[in-house]
Structure 1
């Protein structure tokens, strides 16, 4: 475990020991999902170049076998501080920001109905984490920021508002988009060019598919993100980069992840941050 700025992190080395790319996870619910996603992805040879960086407070013991299920893991506590969650009667829960109500509205909540302070503090913490990753030698255009639930919300908000670096892409699973009432004034000049993968289950009762779709539509209509993924043709010489929103819906999936969804994320990652061999082939 290492310390990047204010966020302690767990780093899972690339399977081929050649870190040229980083996938930064901003947590989820339950907390072990980022580890399971990293383990799932690193078994694919075409994703072996990715270094997984997961904000965490403490790992007493972590074992990632080269294949098979994640069989040994003892005590993983994610960084997300415990907060008194207003919508849950003030109960202390791990969270990036407070949730005033679990009856999440489809339309953008007005000022004062979201935890602006907590959200902005978490954006700042993730910004510092990204700065540390870049300082380690991984360029912004080889970094993907993603998360589940609140982690997905923070990935979107951080990636779209960071002013001095355009990330390779963003992943949001079972997520929503807070601060819609003020987001247009916060986004970076390059926000509309960042490719986004958004996965959502049609049986999600916490963050409904209707809410997820409304937030994704906001990105298209208000931020200018293309409504469909754009993949520059290999060998076209256009020098273009991927862009656009890839929104995928999963039947009978609740507020969780599935193998089908992870397979889609993996295929998307291969196009967003291809391995060295594919990059060399495209350049030739």
Structure 2
């Protein structure tokens, strides 16, 4: 495996895949964390969706006393404005973009690919999804926030200006306060993106109602 390859868990449909969802986990988790969600989404077999759950690189995380864990970027401070390390965000975005290119090379067009992420993974999904040159089917950000929201208007690529973006958050989230998710949503809206906002009576996790909403949204953008 080259330095450019992200290992991942893959959940394939029973027929050859016609669409893909690339779903990025949160800090300290792995691709195995969200893989069990696939059966709960009840995606119709006819849509033939392949789910890809990459494992983030292992790196020391400053706020966790430099402990090494799977992380899409370092978190140097819990401060709202400087939580995401931009260099790491760019580096992981490039790795995820390579996964998208791999799916395209396997015959799944970009506009049949959804980029999704939870917490740190959502930061990458929002960052890459708004800057990538290929038109995606949709972007999903769960219990997350935005890296350098002020840079979006200057750096955004027009390809995904009309791509649906699903933004969701738990009202009792004490890891990533809901205000951070809402700020990301507001930034997307003020930049003209067709983003939707959903909030749930939960903490930093997913709940059944959210899983049902994600399923409905995925079926809509991949219909």
Q: TM-score, normalized by length of structure 2?
A: 0.91
Deviations 1:79-107 (A, max 9, x none): 212222112222222100000122x42xx
Q: Which runs of 5+ in 2 are unaligned?
A: none
- Tell me the distance in 1 between the aligned counterparts of 2:147 and 2:169: 16
Structure-2 change in CA distance of 1:176 and 1:47 (3 Å): farther
How many angstroms apart in 1 are the aligned matches of 2:130 and 2:113? 13
Which secondary structure state, in structure 1, belongs to the residue aligned with residue 173 of structure 2? coil
Does the 8 A contact of 1:123 with 1:158 survive in 2? yes
Q: Which residue of 1 aligns with 2:164?
A: 195
Indicate if the aligned counterparts of 2:110 and 2:137 stay in contact, CA closer than 8 A.
yes
Aligned to 2:8: 9
Indicate the SS of the match to 1:52: strand
**How far off its partner does 1:48 sit?**
5.2
Runs of 4+ in 1 over 4 A off after TM superposition: none
Distance 2:150 2:167 in 1: 21
Determine if contact 2:18/2:47 at 8 Å carries over to the other structure. Answer: no
Q: Which TM-score applies when normalising by structure 1?
A: 0.72
How far apart are the structure 1 equivalents of 2:44 and 2:97?
A: 30
The answer to whether the 8 Å contact 1:46/1:270 transfers is no
Superposition map of 1:245-284 within 5 A? 245-251=195-201, 253-274=202-223
* Number of residues of Structure 1 aligned to a counterpart in Structure 2: 221
Query: For the Cα contact (< 8 Å) 1:203–1:255, is it kept in 2?
Result: yes
Q: CA deviation at 1:192?
A: 2.2
RMSD (Å), alpha carbons = 2.1
Is 1:19 the counterpart of 2:17 in the alignment?
yes
Note if contact 1:28-1:34 (Cα within 8 Å) is conserved in structure 2. no
Between Structure 1 and Structure 2, the one with more helix by share is 2
Aligned to 2:173: 204
CA distance in 1, matches of 2:150, 2:115: 23
Sort the Cα spacing of 1:271 and 1:120 in 2 relative to 1 into closer, same or farther, 3 A.
same
**Residue segments in structure 1 that go unaligned for 5+ positions in a row:** 56-78, 226-243, 275-284
Q: Is the 8 A contact 2:63 2:77 kept in 1?
A: yes
Per-residue deviation at 1:47?
6.8
1:170 aligned residue (115, 121, 139): 139
Distance 1:44 1:137 in 2: 20
Q: Does the CA contact (< 8 Å) of 2:19 and 2:47 recur in 1?
A: no
Task: Give me the whole-angstrom Cα distance separating, in 1, the residues matched to 2:123 and 2:84.
Answer: 13
How far residue 36 of structure 1 moved from its aligned partner, in angstroms, is 1.9
Structure with higher Rg: it is: 1
The 8 Å contact of residues 6 and 56 in structure 2, kept in 1 or not, is answered as: no
Alignment of 1:207-246 (within 5 A): 207-221=176-190, 223-225=191-193, 244-246=194-196
